[in-house]
Structure 1
């Protein structure tokens, strides 16, 4: 089959040259810990498919730097996050090996361009999870739980390499869904050990409770987010793999963090996840 001309690829508003140039800008901003002007402002014709194409090329830049994909993150799955960003549909990004941190670490605030934290559950998969073929039923919560080895508590560190004010979903997706890092706790539970829609959490910064939430804020059950992700990846010819760490989406609003801050998230049935910033 003859390949469609680059400017006529389905769902795309930008040429391959433009997509590659934006991805290179973001790769350099990632290395330099800086931000660039909004893509949506400079390229008003950019579509969601363009943004995922940018993200894929950005990922190739990172892999060429020696990084390795170890999972995925899902964003904008809760009403709290959608209201905070003005964006009304989920998105996803990749988790790289150098973005996974352990609870209790002291972190360099300057490692990221800007720092906000969110409260999440993460799924560790024991088996691949592939979205349905066109016309087949969508994956269910039970499908996700069957493919899951364990559920762990996590703090997501957000880091935008695109100016924050006025961002659209095109900007967010292009920027790997604004993932900076994942701080993973030591506790874990089996996927059916608890009702995963009723895990509560307190986000405490410098001994003050700043945010609270319950995991059902993620599409009613966080496994719905993982099912959505598998379906979206299938549209892009990809799937979740055994061993992947999947951040299911935040059930609190993002909290700004500054040098010297101590963050502690207390999870119901899943202990505490902590990070300090210097």
Structure 2
């Protein structure tokens, strides 16, 4: 385990990189013995500083839940991070590209919980029973650590590379639609770049919600009612730049559009 002062120092580096929209050297290049436990400790210190500064936690993101994302990153296990109120956009938004580093887009579903969900033996059925509704979402990736050679330790420390999310307007209860077959057709400036279906996320996009509840149980915590859970991408990340218009067609769950300015 890294020393507490090292963990605190890295958390401050990441906070400054977030403020300045810059990138820091890989943690694992400087601390090759850093563990996954260290990375979550760094993320927790960073999270607590953000909350102390006045930001409000509204949910959790789960990452690396599909084969497409695992192959794209070379990382083979899911991870998670936190989401704050000032990172939530809605379809039609103009998003300042300068607020982020290494900006990419992923296609996902988000779930809003109707009641708390706790492990350690949470199943997919338990997760579906706790979900109020699903809504389509695009995740904006925001990486403050150099990408080349990055490991899961680096990614988790950097709040699982979460930057923002763009929510659609169509909401569906889990009993209204077969969530496994929700499609995603992702386009940049009118040209289709990525396609997928939500079953690519662990066989069912809500499986990650159960996984996260069980993960939290290891630390004596639970997911709370009203939290937004971003369930993981079922396409590879797509790079975006200033001036790009992004759209994603989710079939029966509508279309999300946004523009990077």
**TM-score bucket of the superposed structures, by smaller chain:** over 0.9
Asked whether 1:38 is paired with 2:21, we answer: no
Asked whether 1:56 is paired with 2:39, we answer: no
Deviations 1:204-235 (A, max 9, x none): 11000000000000000011111111111111
- Residue matched to 1:194: 177
**More deviation in 118-127 or 188-197?**
188-197
> 1:114 offset after TM fit, Å?
2.0
Determine the C-alpha separation between the residues in 1 that align with 2:119 and 2:145. 30
2:10 to 14, 22, 29: 22
- Residue matched to 2:139: 156
Give 3-state SS (helix, strand or coil) of 2:206's partner.
Answer: helix
Deviations 1:17-41 (A, max 9, x none): 1111111111111111111000011
Asked whether 1:89 is paired with 2:74, we answer: no
Determine the C-alpha separation between the residues in 1 that align with 2:167 and 2:119. 26
Give 3-state SS (helix, strand or coil) of 1:253's partner.
Answer: coil
1:203 to 159, 163, 186: 186
Deviations 1:37-58 (A, max 9, x none): 0001100110000000000000
- Residue matched to 1:238: 221
Total equivalences in the alignment: 261
- Residue matched to 1:125: 113
> 1:237 offset after TM fit, Å?
2.5
- Residue matched to 2:155: 172
Give 3-state SS (helix, strand or coil) of 2:180's partner.
Answer: coil
Asked whether 1:184 is paired with 2:167, we answer: yes
2:88 to 97, 100, 112: 100
Determine the C-alpha separation between the residues in 2 that align with 1:253 and 1:214. 12
* TM-score of the pair, normalised by structure 2: 0.99
Highest Rg: 1 or 2? Answer: 1
1:68 to 40, 56, 62: 56
* TM-score of the pair, normalised by structure 1: 0.93
Determine the C-alpha separation between the residues in 2 that align with 1:201 and 1:55. 30
Determine the C-alpha separation between the residues in 2 that align with 1:35 and 1:262. 25
Structure 1 residue runs of 4 or more that deviate by more than 4 Å after TM superposition: none
2:230 to 247, 254, 264: 247
Determine the C-alpha separation between the residues in 2 that align with 1:103 and 1:187. 11
> What residue ranges of structure 2 are gaps of 5+ in the alignment?
none
Determine the C-alpha separation between the residues in 2 that align with 1:236 and 1:117. 31
> 1:107 offset after TM fit, Å?
1.2
**More deviation in 56-65 or 88-97?**
56-65
> 1:131 offset after TM fit, Å?
1.2
- Residue matched to 1:258: 241
